[in-house]
Amino acid sequence: MKVFERAEDLLHIHSELGSQKLAFIPTMGALHQGHLSLVRAAQDMGHKTIVSIFVNPLQFNNSEDLLKYPRTLEHDLALLEAQGVDFVFTPTNEEMYPTTTADVVVDLGLLDSRFEGAFRPGHFHGVVQVVYRLFKYVNPSEVFFGQKDLQQCLVIEQLIEQVFPHIKMHRIPTMREESGLAMSSRNVRLSSESMLKAAEISKSLKDIATRKEEFCEAVVWHAQRLTQMGFEVEYLSCVSMPWMDALECDHFSKEPNGSNGPQNAVIFAGSLNGVRLIDNWVF
């Protein structure tokens, strides 16, 4: 496994690919099995893999969150090596944000002002800028993102459609603990009691997704249930893709699975004892 800090060193990678394609998995480190599932998905398709580890300051709207974000580089590198990753890119802030590079402009429609966009102002601007730069540096033919960050996937799909139409995007299902809790780098900040409570999020999402015509009542009921358990709920909603329009109570799609795959999702964000958690259930 080769580890690079500088973007210019990545140029050599392409001569080492042979007939294989280069699959890219961007991360912010503090790696867990969820991240590794993206790597495995790329390897299973026969691609060479490159993982980036960069905690992107531009996408944190809360400086305390940035400060507290777990950083475990040595452990991350050991995990990636054991997983058989080919290349790792660990750039510095200066490498990612040279003063000479202009921001890219991508039309995100209402994605930028809804849900994560509304609760984390500037977040998707930061995501788009960092992923744009990473795609430019790495020049992959396939990229792998986790459905755990569903709205981020939809934003990246716009970036790809508008700026990198030659790149193929893969959305990989969420890896969960046995309890159903979505794996996340932030989970290390949860006490064991909070971990148990946090597992209730996915139970609520799953229940709402199976309620069909009664989903609006179920949303209200589960928002109250989670609040009573100690969550500060930011949003709990049923939305359609790709723009995350809220589903109308009397407009539940009875046949959500069209030819393009699942169309709807129940989405959640909220804090438990100061730790912000997001999850979703696609149906």
Question: Which residues are identified as catalytic?
Answer: 35
* Residues 97, 136, 175, 228, Cα dihedral to 10°: 40
Lookup result for tokens 């994605």: 111
Distance of closest approach, residue 49 Cβ to ligand AMP, in angstroms: 13
Determine if 59 is a binding residue for ligand AMP (CB under 6 A): no
Determine if 35 is a binding residue for ligand AMP (CB under 6 A): yes
Under rule CB under 6 A, how many of the chain's residues touch ligand AMP?
17
134 contacts 144 by C-beta, under 8 angstroms: no
> What's the one-letter identity of residue 164?
F
**b/e per residue, 134-152, with b = 16+ CB within 10 A?**
bbebbbbebbbbbbbbbbb
Calpha distance 56→252 (Å, rounded): 37
Which residues, 6 or more positions from 34, have their beta carbon under 8 angstroms from its beta carbon?
Answer: 146, 148, 174, 175, 182, 183, 184
Distance of closest approach, residue 104 Cβ to ligand AMP, in angstroms: 19
Work out which of 49, 129, 185, 204 binds ligand AMP, going by CB under 6 A: 185
Phi-psi region of 122 (alpha: psi -120 to 50; beta: other; left: phi over 0): left
Distance of closest approach, residue 229 Cβ to ligand AMP, in angstroms: 21
Piece in contact with ligand AMP (CB under 6 A), picked from 77-85, 130-138, 171-179, 213-221: 171-179
Calpha distance 49→24 (Å, rounded): 6
Q: Which of 140/146 has CB closer to ligand AMP? A: 146
Which residues share a beta bridge with 282? 265
Which residues, 6 or more positions from 156, have their beta carbon under 8 angstroms from its beta carbon?
Answer: 127, 131, 143, 145, 169
Determine if 127 is a binding residue for ligand AMP (CB under 6 A): no
Piece in contact with ligand AMP (CB under 6 A), picked from 14-22, 32-40, 77-85, 215-223: 32-40
Work out which of 27, 129, 151, 187 binds ligand AMP, going by CB under 6 A: 27
Distance of closest approach, residue 209 Cβ to ligand AMP, in angstroms: 18
Q: Which of 114/171 has CB closer to ligand AMP? A: 171
Determine if 174 is a binding residue for ligand AMP (CB under 6 A): yes
Work out which of 10, 34, 154, 238 binds ligand AMP, going by CB under 6 A: 34
Q: Which of 142/149 has CB closer to ligand AMP? A: 149
Q: Which of 37/237 has CB closer to ligand AMP? A: 37
Q: Fill in the per-residue mask, 145 to 164: x = in contact with ligand AMP (CB under 6 A), - = not in contact.
A: xx-xx---------------
Cis peptide before 242 (omega within 30 of 0): yes
Contacting residues toward ligand AMP, per CB under 6 A: 27-28, 34-35, 37-38, 145-146, 148-149, 172, 174-175, 182-185
